[in-house]
């Protein structure tokens, strides 16, 4: 019998870099790195040579110059004397406007069409099939152009339209659509306050009702009371003020004045065509997702719910929908993403979105293709990455979890204090030790509010308050200021999202935000100007203190929660 021993380890030879699997992966990666660097440097040197031959350089400075073109559909103050940056912001907001409107309408169309396609009414389901299969297989650009051309060619001129009676105050002309718009008069503050109060009260009432149901099993009327709080309360306040001092909020109807309509809200034909075409197109895809989601819940679930004695609507809301939504929402979100990306087709009908301003007129006027396209891509990329981050967080939250153990593989700041407080475990959904308390109100909401407020202030500082006379525009800051502020915005957003979705990484991101807050100050950013109403030191110190408090709460606070944000002291 011979003893089995490991063969003696061979000395390292150069050939082993390739033949030995221990080293080969390293070799391949180093070679790949070298190849990629070579390729990149080749491309960059080509670009530099080409730019030098044309006498161009690479700088964003031109974007602070006056845009000197007009944008006729806008959400914020803009004139042709504003800077290219402001024009880009107007465009980005227009993109977001059409994207949000499109997502809303597409969801409505998609849900209705998807449900109707499953209807047991033969005619209706066939009609929906025809709609879905027709619209899905025709390029969306053709649909957009068709609608825009039809609006331009076949709608009446404002004078003709003024003569005709129009429905609900909506006027469709070949110059655009006019819809009634609200006018806020004296006392409207109270109505808005009542609305906010109603929303807060309805949330509180919903939680109370749930708690009472959990404790006593008694069902309170939730929907009707919440509806009354949200709709009824503002209406009541409106009516009261209207009786005393005249209506605080009225509707202004468009009226023909001269050659055009005046009053109300004006939407250009290009916006309406883009909005409708994108919604109809994306709605067809959403309809298919909805149908697949509903079909994915097996019939036995309905029957089981009926067998338990649940009524039809509660079966739907408690049994079918939660399971169907798990299947529907991820593809739904990627449809939203597609819609947002497709909204860049606005340039074909002349709607001034980000592509039309930044990638269109600004590019042509300044001749800076690299800079403008880089910014444009960064804009769309940040939207996509934010949406896919939300989707990942959502997926992690709803995914089916089998037995798990307390987590703790990677480093997290919440472990930093373990030596002081004793070891804690971060529980995951499905843990045996998990407390089944559902929807308990926690101070986490304050953390969410804090970071939402910070994000709003930072974005307003970055974009909306961009008036060249008042403040130095972003692209004129020093590089350190630009980078540190941008990172601060990104981290604030990430913290906000993780807090909303109760991901345990919120602690680390909050620490990162605080660090970046200090870094941005050191780099010379005027963070005190974020809130103009307060003095600078108050804003800087107050916000840092609030962040510190939030981190302390996240680390030390007891956080009873449903998902996987629950920490318990480890029992040894």
Partner 1 sequence: MSDVHAQTVAYVAPSQIPPSPPPARERGAMKWFRANLFSSVSNGILTVIAILILAWSLPALIQWAFVDAVWEAGSLSECREIAAARGVEGSFACWAVINERFNQFLFGFYPEELYWRPILAFLLMFAAAAPVLFNQIPRQTLVGSALYPFVAYWLLWGGPVLPVVLAILGPVVGYAAFRGVEKAMEGDAGAAGMVAGALVTVLWWSFVPGLIDGGPGLAPVESARMGGFMLALIIGITGIAASLPFGILLALGRKSDLIFIKTLSVIFIEFIRGVPLITLLFVASSVLNYFFPPGTALDLILRVVIMATLFASAYMAEVIRGGLAALPSGQYEAADSLGLDYWKSMRLIILPQALKISIPGIVNTFIGLFKDTTLVSVIGLLDPVGIINPIRADSNWNGIVWEFYVFVGLFFWVFCFGMSRYSMYLERKLATDHR
CA dist 522 and 524 (Å) reads 5
Q: Which two tokens stand for residue 244?
A: 């005393």
Nearer to partner 1 among residue 180 and residue 350 (C-beta): 350
* DSSP-derived 3-state class of residue 425: strand
Phi, psi dihedrals of residue 251, rounded to the nearest 5°: -100, 130
CA dist 458 and 319 (Å) reads 42
Nearer to partner 1 among residue 144 and residue 539 (C-beta): 144
Shortest gap between Cβ of 9 and partner 1 (angstroms)?
21
Nearer to partner 1 among residue 135 and residue 566 (C-beta): 135
CA dist 169 and 282 (Å) reads 28
Nearer to partner 1 among residue 56 and residue 570 (C-beta): 56
| Close Cβ partners of 2 (under 8 Å, ≥ 6 residues apart) | none
Shortest gap between Cβ of 279 and partner 1 (angstroms)?
17
* DSSP-derived 3-state class of residue 380: helix
Shortest gap between Cβ of 426 and partner 1 (angstroms)?
26
Phi, psi dihedrals of residue 291, rounded to the nearest 5°: -60, -45
Phi, psi dihedrals of residue 267, rounded to the nearest 5°: -120, 125
If we measure between CA atoms, which residue out of 420, 395, 430, 354 comes closest to residue 569? Answer: 420
CA dist 447 and 551 (Å) reads 9
Shortest gap between Cβ of 282 and partner 1 (angstroms)?
13
Shortest gap between Cβ of 358 and partner 1 (angstroms)?
10
Nearer to partner 1 among residue 346 and residue 530 (C-beta): 346
Nearer to partner 1 among residue 211 and residue 341 (C-beta): 341
Nearer to partner 1 among residue 43 and residue 100 (C-beta): 43
Q: Which two tokens stand for residue 97?
A: 């406007």
CA dist 40 and 34 (Å) reads 10
Shortest gap between Cβ of 127 and partner 1 (angstroms)?
6
Shortest gap between Cβ of 261 and partner 1 (angstroms)?
24
- Enumerate the β-bridge partners of residue 257: 260
Nearer to partner 1 among residue 127 and residue 333 (C-beta): 127
Nearer to partner 1 among residue 269 and residue 547 (C-beta): 269
| In 146-289, beta strands by DSSP E | 171-173, 176-179, 181-184, 249-252, 255-257, 260-262, 265-267
DSSP 407: B
Nearer to partner 1 among residue 386 and residue 442 (C-beta): 386
Nearer to partner 1 among residue 340 and residue 561 (C-beta): 340
Shortest gap between Cβ of 124 and partner 1 (angstroms)?
5
Phi, psi dihedrals of residue 66, rounded to the nearest 5°: -65, 140
H or E segment and range at residue 569: strand 566-569
Phi, psi dihedrals of residue 258, rounded to the nearest 5°: 65, -125
Shortest gap between Cβ of 411 and partner 1 (angstroms)?
18
Shortest gap between Cβ of 336 and partner 1 (angstroms)?
14
Residues that bind partner 1 (CB under 8 A): 18-19, 25, 28-29, 32-33, 35-36, 43, 46-47, 49-51, 53, 119-124, 127, 133-134, 136-143, 145-146, 149-150, 153-154, 341-342, 344-345, 347-348, 355, 359, 363, 369-370, 373, 376-377, 380-381, 384-385, 388
Q: How long, in residues, is the chain? A: 572
* DSSP-derived 3-state class of residue 109: helix
Count Cβ atoms below 10 Å from residue 20 Cβ, excluding itself: 13
Shortest gap between Cβ of 141 and partner 1 (angstroms)?
5
Q: Which two tokens stand for residue 533?
A: 């109403």
């Amino acid at each position: 019998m011979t003893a089995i021993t490991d063969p003696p380890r061979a000395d390292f030879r150069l050939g082993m870099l390739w033949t030995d699997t221990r080293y080969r992966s390293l070799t391949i990666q180093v070679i790949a790195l070298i190849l990629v660097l070579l390729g990149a440097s080749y491309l960059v040197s080509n670009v530099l040579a080409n730019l030098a031959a044309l006498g161009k350089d690479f700088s964003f400075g031109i974007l602070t110059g006056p845009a000197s073109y007009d944008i006729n559909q806008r959400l914020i103050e803009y004139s042709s004397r504003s800077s290219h940056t402001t024009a880009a912001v107007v465009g980005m907001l227009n993109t977001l406007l059409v994207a949000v409107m499109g997502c809303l309408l597409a969801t409505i169309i998609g849900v209705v069409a998807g449900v109707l396609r499953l209807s047991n009414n033969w005619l209706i389901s066939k009609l929906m099939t025809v709609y879905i299969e027709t619209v899905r297989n025709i390029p969306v650009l053709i649909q957009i152009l068709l609608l825009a051309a039809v609006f331009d060619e076949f709608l009446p001129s404002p004078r003709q339209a003024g003569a005709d009676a129009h429905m609900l105050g909506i006027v469709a002309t070949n110059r655009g659509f006019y819809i009634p718009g609200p006018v806020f008069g004296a006392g409207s503050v109270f109505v808005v306050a009542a609305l906010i109060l109603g929303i807060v009260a309805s949330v509180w009432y919903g939680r109370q009702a749930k708690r009472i149901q959990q404790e006593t099993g008694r069902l309170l009327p939730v929907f009707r009371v919440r509806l009354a709080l949200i709709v009824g309360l503002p209406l009541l306040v409106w009516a009261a003020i209207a009786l005393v001092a005249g209506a605080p909020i009225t509707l202004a109807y468009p009226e023909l004045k001269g050659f055009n309509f005046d009053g109300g809200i004006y939407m250009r034909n290009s916006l309406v065509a883009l909005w409708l075409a994108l919604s109809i197109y994306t709605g067809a895809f959403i309809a298919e997702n909805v149908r697949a989601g509903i079909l994915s819940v097996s019939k036995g679930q309905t029957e089981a719910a009926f067998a338990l004695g649940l009524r039809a609507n509660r079966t739907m809301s408690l049994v079918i929908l939660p399971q169907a939504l798990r299947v529907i929402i991820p593809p739904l979100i990627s449809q939203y993403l597609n819609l947002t990306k497709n909204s860049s087709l606005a340039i074909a009908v002349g709607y001034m979105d980000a592509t039309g301003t930044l990638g269109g007129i600004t590019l042509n006027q300044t001749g800076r293709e690299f800079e403008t396209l880089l910014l444009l891509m960064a804009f769309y990329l940040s939207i996509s990455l934010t949406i896919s981050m939300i989707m990942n967080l959502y997926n992690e939250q709803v995914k089916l979890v089998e037995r798990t153990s307390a987590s703790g593989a990677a480093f997290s700041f919440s472990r930093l204090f373990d030596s002081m407080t004793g070891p804690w475990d971060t529980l995951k959904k499905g843990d045996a030790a998990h407390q089944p308390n559902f929807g308990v109100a926690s101070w986490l909401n304050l953390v969410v509010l804090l970071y939402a407020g910070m994000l709003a202030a930072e974005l307003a500082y970055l974009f909306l308050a961009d008036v060249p006379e008042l403040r130095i525009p972003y692209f004129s800051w020093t590089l350190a200021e630009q980078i540190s502020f941008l990172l601060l915005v990104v981290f604030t957003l990430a913290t906000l999202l993780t807090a909303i979705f109760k991901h345990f990484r919120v602690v680390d991101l909050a620490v990162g935000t605080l660090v970046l807050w200090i870094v941005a100050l050191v780099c010379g950013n005027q963070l005190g100007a974020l809130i103009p109403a307060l003095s600078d030191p108050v804003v800087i110190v107050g916000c840092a203190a609030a962040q510190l408090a939030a981190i302390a709460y996240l680390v030390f606070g007891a956080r009873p929660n449903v998902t996987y944000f629950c920490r318990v002291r480890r029992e040894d």
